[in-house]
């Protein structure tokens, strides 16, 4: 009777677990900043000198957390972004973006549940 400890099945299971853990530990981006550049046609903008893109899964909200439309996004608009950090050389992907009335200091962030 032979027992294979490192058979094909074990290798596949280990690879699968490592793949899932890599997806789970994707680095999250959360920041507040002002829109410096925007291109609605290619769904791309620059906030705090960082490039971001959005897609059909991205959700847009006003400062009260109510859904809004991307067309309200303009240069010099303050925003709070929740997204996923991309690999080096690629833009970060926005998952949620909130339009803000201006800069929100640390002490006032409790008024905005999404900033906690």
| CATH number of the structural domain spanning residue 90 | 2.40.50.320
Q: Secondary structure of the chain: what % helix, strand, coil (to 5)?
A: 25, 35, 40
Residues 6+ apart with CB under 8 A from 89: none
Q: Please state the domain count of the chain.
A: 1
Could you read off the pLDDT of 31-72 as tens digits, one per residue?
Answer: 999 999 999 999 999 999 999 999 999 999 999 999 999 999
Is 112 domain-assigned?
no
With CA atoms as reference, report the closest residue to 39 among 109, 91, 108, 98: 91
Is 115 domain-assigned?
no
Is 81 domain-assigned?
yes
Is 98 domain-assigned?
yes
**Can you name the residues that pair with 96 across neighbouring β-strands?**
59, 82
Of 8-12, 23-27, 34-38, 93-97, the one with minimum mean pLDDT is 8-12
User: Which helix (H) or strand (E) segment is 37 a member of?
Assistant: strand 28-39
Residue 111 contacts residue 98 (beta carbons within 8 Å): no
Per-residue model confidence (pLDDT) at position 88: 85
Is 19 domain-assigned?
no
Could you read off the pLDDT of 86-100 as tens digits, one per residue?
Answer: 888 889 999 999 999
Give me the domain span that covers residue 97.
28-106
* Helix, strand, or coil (residue 81): strand
More confident residue, 71 or 5: 71
């Amino acid at each position: 009777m032979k027992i294979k400890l490192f058979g094909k099945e074990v290798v596949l299971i280990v690879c699968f677990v490592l793949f899932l853990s890599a997806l789970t530990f994707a680095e999250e981006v959360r920041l507040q900043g002002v829109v410096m550049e925007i291109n609605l046609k290619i769904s791309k903008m620059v906030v705090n000198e960082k490039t971001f893109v959005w897609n059909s899964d991205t959700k847009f909200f006003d400062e009260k957390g109510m859904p809004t439309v991307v067309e309200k996004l303009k240069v010099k608009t303050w925003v709070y972004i929740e997204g996923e950090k991309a690999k080096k050389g690629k833009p970060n992907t926005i998952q949620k973006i909130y339009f803000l009335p201006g800069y929100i200091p640390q002490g006032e962030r409790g008024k905005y549940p999404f900033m906690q």
